[in-house]
Amino acid sequence: MSGGTYVYGRERLGPWWGFLAGWAFVVGKTASCAAMALTAAVYAVPGSDWGQRIVAALAVLGVAALNYRGVTRTAQVTRVLVATTVATLGVFVLAVLTAPGASTGHLTGWGQLSWHGALQSGGLVFFAFAGYARIATMGEEVREPARTIPRAITIALVAVVAVYLVVGVTALLAAGAPTLAHSTSPLTSALDRVGRGGLSPVIRVGAALAALGSLLALMAGIGRTSLAMAREHDLPRWFSAVHPRFEVPHRAEGALAGVVAALVLTTDLRGALGFSSFGVLVYYAVANAAAFTQPPADRRWPRWLQALGLSGCVVLALSLPVRAVLTGAGVLLLGLLVRALRVRTVERSRPAGGPRERRCSQRSRR
State the residue range of the domain holding 64.
5-364
Please report, for residues 10, 128, 198, 270, the alpha-carbon distance to residue 187 in angstroms, rounded to integers and kept in the order given: 41, 16, 13, 19
- Report the pLDDT value the prediction gives residue 366, as an integer from 0 to 100: 52
How many domains does the chain contain in total?
1
Q: What is the amino acid identity at position 223?
A: G
pLDDT digits (tens, 9 = 90+) for 262-314: 999 998 777 778 889 999 999 999 999 999 999 988 888 899 999 999 999 99
Angle between helices 49-68 and 15-44 (to 10 degrees): 130
Least confident piece of the model among 5-9, 65-69, 101-105: 65-69
With the C-alpha atoms ordered 312, 314, 317, 322, is the resulting torsion angle positive or negative? negative
Q: What is the amino acid identity at position 250?
A: H
pTM of the complete model: 0.83
Is the confidence at residue 14, as pLDDT, over 90?
A: yes
Rounded CA-CA distance 318/285 in Å is 12
The pLDDT of 93-100, averaged and rounded, is 95
Mean pLDDT of the chain: 86
CB proximity list for 114: less than 8 A, separation 6 or greater:
none
- Which residue pairs, CB below 8 angstroms and at least 24 apart, start in 104-107? 104/173, 106/172, 106/173, 106/174, 106/175, 106/176, 106/177, 107/169, 107/172, 107/173, 107/176
What's 351's DSSP letter? P
Confidence of residue 365 (pLDDT cuts 50, 70, 90): very low
- Report the pLDDT value the prediction gives residue 278, as an integer from 0 to 100: 94
CB proximity list for 257: less than 8 A, separation 6 or greater:
60, 61, 63, 64, 219
The helix/strand/coil state of 205 is: helix
State the CATH number of the domain containing residue 360: 1.20.1740.10
Is the confidence at residue 363, as pLDDT, over 60?
A: no
Is the confidence at residue 356, as pLDDT, over 60?
A: no
Confidence of residue 20 (pLDDT cuts 50, 70, 90): very high
